[in-house]
Structure 1
Amino acid sequence: MAEHHPVSDNKHKSALNSGASGGGGGGGGLSGGLSQPAGWQSLLSFTILFLAWLAGFSSRLFAVIRFESIIHEFDPWFNYRSTHHLTTNGFYEFLNWFDERAWYPLGRIVGGTVYPGLMVTAGLIHYVLNLLHVTVHIRDVCVFLAPVFSGLTSISTFLLTRELWNQGAGLLAACFIAIVPGYISRSVAGSFDNEGIAIFALQFTYYLWVKSVKTGSVFWAIGCCLSYFYMVSAWGGYVFIINLIPLHVFVLLLMQRFSRRVYIAYSTFYIIGLVLSMQIPFVGFQPIRTSEHMAAAGVFVLLQVYAFLQYLKDRLTRQEFQTLFFLGVSLAAGVVFLSVIYLTYTGYIAPWSGRFYSLWDTGYAKIHIPIIASVSEHQPTTWVSFFFDLHILVCTFPAGLWFCIKNINDERVFVALYAISAVYFAGVMVRLMLTLTPVVCMLSAVAFSSVFEHYLGDDLKRQSPPAEDSSDEDDRKNAGNLYDKAGKVRKHVSEQEKAEEGLGPNIKSIVTMLMLMLLMMFAVHCTWVTSNAYSSPSVVLASYNHDGSRNILDDFREAYYWLRQNTDEHARVMSWWDYGYQIAGMANRTTLVDNNTWNNSHIALVGKAMSSNETAAYEIMRSLDVDYVLIIFGGVIGYSGDDINKFLWMVRIAEGEHPRDIRESDYFTPQGEFRVDKAGSPTLLNCLMYKMSYYRFGEMQLDFRTPPGFDRTRNAEIGNKDIRLKHLEEAFTSEHWLVRIYKVKKLDNRDRLEHRLRSTDAARQKYTSKKVG
């Protein structure tokens, strides 16, 4: 068991810096600093980090250059609208903001249902710039926030990797994460989403945690708490941190690597981090009342018991200590486990959420919570996605993990756990590829750094990873520890000579050229993926002609602008929840549902209206005071993300709440096919979504090779061409028929008679008189 010894910060220097402390002190100033190896090394590191920041920022500007400075996707539109409200009305008004334009007729309390870190960050930058008389619109701050923070992510990744390995690996990791597609996909210019700043907060929190574990300093632990507080304010992914750090401490206890440093770091982090995280209104008392946070509390209690038993170690005999240690740890673990079960059973602690279960069972959400499964980001990750987003790093990061496990210490236990858990979660859900990307960049940098260090060393003495490290302070005092760090096992000279035999200049040159070619291919791939896959705003589409010229399809903004200019200010628009944020942000009109998806029954009611016949849907729309209905139709231009392709999810969500009225099987053919042609289900061909999508489409012939009413997206001729609307009327159709808006008719002043009037034929009537007498 490790002993407790005081630790000083000045002993922890990287291998690249260790040789730079010598040298003369003459010369002073810049020239004197640059005359020493440390001065040149610092200048080179600063230059590389600056170039990595510049490369990361520049590679994220494709969308702005090709299109314009515009907010992308769906969620960023709500974030932008909230930030605009914050900068216009102030912070306290933002916290108390009740948004009456969302979730009609329920509304939404914004301040208590969002992570405010993104809005506050953008608003603070906007405030500082205006304070310095740099006039800039809040939209431009929101557009360029994620590219700017990519540079901060590179720096935090550099710091973390330097603590784990050495400075050379840190610089490589900073360059990797600056341009890797797995991170760029959520941080391009215009992608004003929580992940744009959350990955920086994630990496910086991990860096400060590793630093606090290495030093045992309360200063670094409090810094870790502050960074964790910022992470909690920015993104719900903070749950990953509050479970990974306790897992790290628990594994250190199992490996018998307990030390005063770990005790100080985790106790400070848990107590202060817990209090700070509860200051976010949206989080509130979740850290002490939800199952996702109970692992942290359990490890905290276990750590206190373990530390107390360590205190008793010197006051008891070996046999007494072993008996007490086994009973104490077992009893503490049992009490924690039973307490969590009891509190969960009594309802004080909330049970595991559906999102948590979907991480362990990929089919759970589709059966029980279809609204989660309907989101494309929540689908399992394909093998192609790993290579597409990470390229050669997929192959090299296991080598870096092996290097860390081979030369294990406290902080490398952390990065190994980080890598293993992130790989699993990224395989379960596409969205969590974002949490895997940083650790892949770090471990790949370790692998490349080790290879370059080995093959570019010439005849100079190769420096190993830092041996003077705080996490081995106790190990140096205790030679019986089985877990030694890199550089502690000294080889005999003969072994070193044998290991370096056969590495002639040709072998070194070949290996070096291969590594450089891989890095060059990685840079080319990253640029191509960023340019072609992740730099297209969803609100503006582009198509290319045979000669390479580009056509801009601006139907979304055209339709939203029409809504803004031609409808009443208080008009209520019904659409599927994907478009709620955009309608509220660009059209400034009231919506029934949006991307927050907090009320499943309300979304199911909209899904029921879309999947019912027109008469039944009209009753639902009247009950919700709907004035307009907006749908997306891609049959003309071949747009695959339209509402007909999403329609089955509307049916499934509606069936979950209204199983008597909506059944998914009714929308399939007897052969189990989903078809829009004549062989399609009669229920499908007469539902409201089908009618609104294909209204007047049967009259349109797109080209001479296809018949009228040919759907390019589904490659089929529609089955119902003679569509007549009774309760709706077409109000607007965009240029390429991508967005269609229908107005809901008001009730007639007098009910129409459905039957024909009785006809009378006066010519055939005979009037006769009868004599009475």
Structure 2
Amino acid sequence: MSKGLLTAFKRLDRLLGNRRQLFELGLLLLIMGVAFTIRVLPMRWGVTLSEFDPWVQYKEAMYIIERGWSGFSEFFTWHDTESWYPWGRDMGRTAFPGIPFAMAFIYLLLKSVGLSPDPLELASILPVVYSLAGVALMYFLGRQVAGSATGLAAALFIAVSNSNISRNHLGWFDDESLSIPLMLLGFTAYLAALKEGRTVRGVVAYSLLAGGAMGAMAASWGAHKFPLALIPFFAVIASLLGKYSTRLLIATSTAFSTYTLIAMSVPKLGPSYIFETTLFSGFIGVGILLIFEIANRYIPPQSRRLFIGGLFVAAAIFFSAAVLLGVLGVPGLKFLSVALPQLRDALPIVISVAENQVPTWSIIFSDLGIFLIMAPFGVYLFLRRGGLPSLFIVIYTILSVYFASSMVRLSLIAAPAVALAAGYAFTYLFSQLGAIMSSVRAVRRRGQTIPLGYSFITPAILILLLGYSLLPAAYGGLNLRGEVSISPVDQGYQPVTLVTGSFPTRSVLADWMRALEWMKANLPPDAVVMSWWDYGYWITVVGGHKTLVDNGTLNSTQIGEVAYAFMSPPATAVEVLRRHDVTHVVIFVTHQFVSQGGQTFGRLLGFGDEGKWIWMLRIANQVGYKFVESEYLDSNFQPTQKFWDSTLMGQLIPYKPQQTQFGLGHFYNPSNLENFRLVYASSPPYNSLAYVYVYEVVYPQL
């Protein structure tokens, strides 16, 4: 016992005796501290979940926790009757289990050792914990590719990345918070498996770790297709560039088979998932690697190029034929539209969500920050450096930045690549400066002088730009058009959506919280609530009542029915609601009222249903109803009088248009509807910016 303890102390002494490692560890812990501080800034407004999807993840985790360890198996037979009324939802077959399973496992493990954390607080803090793991893994990935200095720079850059912060801050209990660290672990382990001199046993071990991490990511995140397809795609490109080795075949085939088996075991994906194009392309990739292996072993050098080229063309023809004949399923339009953004116009349900739209340059710059400027130079340096890890990062960076420029939410996948490329460029410039200064000192010792000239200019500019990009807008930091800040502090220092009443502000607007509490306490247990799908999770999970549609957007036909009801005249809408047993209708309206110098002016702001109704019209058209958009929307993109007079939504919005000396305004003038009785308003007129209205449906006698 004492001998083992002495050995442990000796190892610790050797570790601490290595000052370089100790210094790197200290810097990494400091960077993780910065990441933690930024991501817990929303705690100022309380601890709860952010946005919408985290609430259903929390609901799924609580289902398991309430049943104990058996809940993990019962989850896959769970039919939820509170959502998508009257059909309900098979949660085990329509939801990714990764996030709720991870939380339930952690909670039950803590409970088994006598600790009982509050589940909501645990769900809120876990994304921050996952983000710290992501920062550490970013360091190891950077060190694997280009050394410790690059790893530390990449860790710092991902710690202050707006895109990364937006998806793993306090309360963001959703897929991406866990999936990005798992993706980084998978990439790091895969590149470790490719390291020169690695034994076969080591290659297999690291590849299994990579496959396990990527498989867990596939069980957690719908956007897993790109990371899974990237590994075999990279292996094929590397082989075509003359970098094939048996080690590449073993690592790729082991990782691919591992994460494919895990993905197939997820009920939402199922065994048939192997016939989906993006995953099946991995089989083609491994097959091409086998062709290279056979060529290297059995084909004479003078015939290898012809042999490989012929079989490569045959594989491409086979793959294309399988897709055209329908043997392989193509990804849905939502995923295809990432590569071909013009396809998104055919999907109003998808494009109605801001994060699914094509980003503007200001959004891209805000998400990826000043590091986007340094990334191209980093890509060039990686190309010049050569080697498999460098090639992997180059391919990852180019593809992910392209996809991020196609869809707002995909900047999250590009953020690690940009951080790594920028980190390498950053450390290279400073290493060059260090080399120049060392040579200057050596020359000065010989009594000569060499002017440093412009050697300091580029690093100094980078430091100034980086420092300025971190500065909050309130202290003079960059704020594009007064709307988009590039400061990570501004990104982190925001209350969660429920606290702000789903309104873009840093103030507490308790309207949605009050409305949900009122619904939970006052609506009858069998109430069925119709709202636009944005608020479905809130009404079901927090408000405790059945809804027709929610943020899962599982049934576009039912969403179209809700859209049709809102866009129809009240008499028609009542019959649609009767078919679905709807008892109450909820709408959300944002309105600003200003009184100054004896003058008053009010206007709808467009953040609520008064701005979303156009998507209701388009989605209703998508499922087969016929609305002429120009009859409801004028050339100035304002709703016409027909919208206000002839649609249920126009009638339910209590603020009606009225011309004033300031232009078109909107004033409180609720309609007197025979079949819809207002039973709750979250705030009196003109007393808030966000209003939730609950109407009871009064059906006419048949």
Where on the TM-score scale, by shorter chain, does this alignment land: which range? 0.7 to 0.9
The answer to whether structure 1 residue 41 and structure 2 residue 20 are counterparts is: yes
Matched, 1:625 2:625: no
Q: Which residue of 2 aligns with 1:151?
A: 132
Alpha-carbon distance in 2 for matches of 1:550, 1:521: 22
Equivalent-residue separation in structure 2 for 1:715 and 1:312 (angstroms):
81
State which of 715, 739, 742 in structure 1 corresponds to 2:692.
739
Shift of 1:738: 0.8
Deviation at 1:246, TM superposition (A): 1.6
User: Which residue of 177, 183, 189 maps to 1:208?
Assistant: 189
Partner of 1:517: 464
Which residue is 2:648 aligned to?
Answer: 688
Partner of 2:55: 77
How far has the Cα of 1:645 moved from its partner?
0.5
Counterpart secondary structure, 2:265: coil
Give the conservation status (yes or no) of the 8 Å contact 2:501–2:511: no
Moved more, 531-540 or 405-414: 531-540
Match of 1:179 in 2: 160
Contact 1:218–1:268 (CA under 8 A) maintained in structure 2: yes
8 Å Cα contact 1:634-1:640 kept in structure 2: yes
Q: Distance in 2 between matches of 1:600 and 1:354?
A: 14
The residue type equivalent to 2:190 in the other structure is W
1:540 aligns with 2:488: no
Structure 2 matches for 1:467-482, cutoff 5 A?
none
In the aligned structure 2, how far is the partner of 1:456 from the partner of 1:519? 19
- How far the C-alpha of 1:397 sits from its partner, in A, is 1.2
SS of equivalent to 2:700: coil
* Per-residue CA distance 1:202-258 (angstroms, 9 max, x = gap): 111111111112236111111111111111111122211122112211111211111
SS of alignment partner, residue 743 of structure 1: strand
After superposition, residues 13-28 of structure 1 pair within 5 angstroms as 28=10
- Aligned: 1:598 with 2:567: no
C-alpha spacing 1:507/1:105, structure 2 compared with 1 (3 Å): same
Alignment of 1:466-615 (within 5 A): 504-505=451-452, 507-508=454-455, 512-524=459-471, 529-534=487-492, 535-541=494-500, 552-615=508-571
Distance (whole Å) between structure 2 residues aligned to residue 293 and residue 512 of structure 1 = 43
Cα distance in 2 between the residues matched to 1:503 and 1:537 = 56
* Distance (Å, rounded) in 2 between the aligned partners of 1:178 and 1:715: 46
2:620 maps to 1:654 = yes
More helix by share: 2
- Contact 1:156/1:203, CA 8 A, preserved across alignment: yes
Report which stretch shifted further, 451-460 or 518-527: 518-527
Instruction: Indicate which of 276, 284, 294 corresponds to 1:290.
Output: 276
Moved more, 274-283 or 409-418: 274-283
- Residues 249 and 262, structure 1, Cα contact 8 Å, conserved in 2: yes
Change (3 A) 1:599 1:261: same
CA distance in 2, matches of 1:512, 1:404: 19
Length-normalised TM-score, structure 2: 0.87
Deviates more, 1:39-48 or 1:189-198: 39-48
* C-alpha distance 276-722 of structure 1, shift in aligned 2 (>3 A): closer
Distance 1:257 1:198 in 2: 30
What CA distance in whole angstroms lies between the structure 2 residues aligned with 1:711 and 1:133? 65
SS of the residue corresponding to residue 508 of structure 2 reads strand
Question: In the TM superposition, what is the alpha-carbon distance from 1:330 to its structure 2 partner?
Answer: 4.0
Preserved CA contact (<8 Å) 1:543 1:550: no
User: 1:272: Cα distance to partner?
Assistant: 2.4
Deviation at 1:31, TM superposition (A): 5.3
Task: Assess if the C-alpha contact under 8 Å between 2:98 and 2:219 holds in 1.
Answer: yes
Q: CA deviation at 1:715?
A: 6.7
Q: What residue number does 2:414 align with?
A: 436
Task: Give a deviation string over 1:343-379, Cα, whole Å, max 9, x none.
Answer: 445543223320133113323222x221111110011
After superposition, where does 1:16-165 map in structure 2 within 5 Å?
28=10, 33-35=15-17, 39-65=18-44, 67-89=45-67, 90-165=71-146
Helix, strand or coil: the match of 1:629? strand
* 1:656 Cα offset (Å): 1.3
CA contact (8 A) 1:52 1:151 kept: no
User: What is the CA RMSD across the aligned residues, in angstroms?
Assistant: 3.0
TM-score (norm 1): 0.80
Q: Write out aligned runs for 1:345-384 (5 A).
A: 345-366=324-345, 368-384=346-362
Partner of 1:299: 285
Distance 1:168 1:259 in 2: 29
C-alpha contact 2:564 2:625 (8 A) present in aligned 1: no
> C-alpha distance in 1, partners of 2:660/2:229?
49
**Alignment CA distance shift 1:718-1:519 (3 Å):** closer
Q: Counterpart in 1 of 2:572?
A: 616
Secondary structure, aligned partner of 1:552: coil
Larger radius of gyration: 1
Native 8 Å contact 1:543 1:552 kept in 2: no
Q: 279-288 vs 70-79, which deviates more?
A: 279-288
Structure 2: how far apart are the matches of 1:502 and 1:239? 57
Aligned 8 A contact 2:333 2:344 in 1? yes
Conserved 8 A contact 1:218-1:264: yes
Equivalent residue, structure 1, for 2:673: 725
SS at the partner of 1:428?
Answer: coil
Q: Kindly state the Cα deviation for residue 574 of structure 1 after the two structures are TM-superposed.
A: 0.2
CA–CA separation in structure 1 for the residues paired with 2:354 and 2:258: 37
Q: How does 1:383-422 map to 2 (within 5 A)?
A: 383-422=361-400
For residues 362 and 653 of structure 2, the distance between their equivalents in structure 1, rounded to whole angstroms, comes to 33
Preserved CA contact (<8 Å) 2:644 2:651: no
2:227 to 241, 251, 272: 241
Asked whether the equivalents of residues 383 and 391 of structure 2 are also in contact (C-alpha less than 8 Å), the reply is yes
Question: Separation in 1 of the partners of 2:502 and 2:545?
Answer: 29
Please give the secondary structure, in 2, of the residue aligned with 1:738. strand
Single out whichever of 182-191 and 721-730 deviates more from structure 2.
Answer: 721-730
Aligned twin of 2:601: none
**Displacement of 1:83 after TM fit?**
1.1
Matched pairs, number: 655
Structure 1 residue 457 displacement after superposition: 3.6
Q: For 2:630, which of 642, 665, 679 is the aligned residue? A: 665
Q: Residues 695-736 of structure 1, C-alpha deviation per residue, up to 9 Å, x if partnerless? A: xx45xxxxxxxxx96899x97335995732021111111113
Does the aligned pair in 1 maintain the 2:162–2:491 contact within 8 Å?
no
**1:716 and 2:660 correspond:** no
Query: In 2 relative to 1, CA 525–167 (structure 1 residues): closer, same or farther, beyond 3 Å?
Result: farther
Residue 216 of structure 2 contacts residue 262 of structure 2 at CA under 8 Å; is this kept in 1?
A: no
Judged with a 3 Å threshold, the aligned counterparts in structure 2 of structure 1 residues 312 and 623 are, in CA distance, closer, same or farther, namely same
The one-letter code of the counterpart of 1:408 is: G
Equivalent residue, structure 2, for 1:3: none
Q: Which segment is superposed worse, 128-137 or 338-347?
A: 338-347
Contact 1:731–1:743 (Cα < 8 Å) also in 2? yes
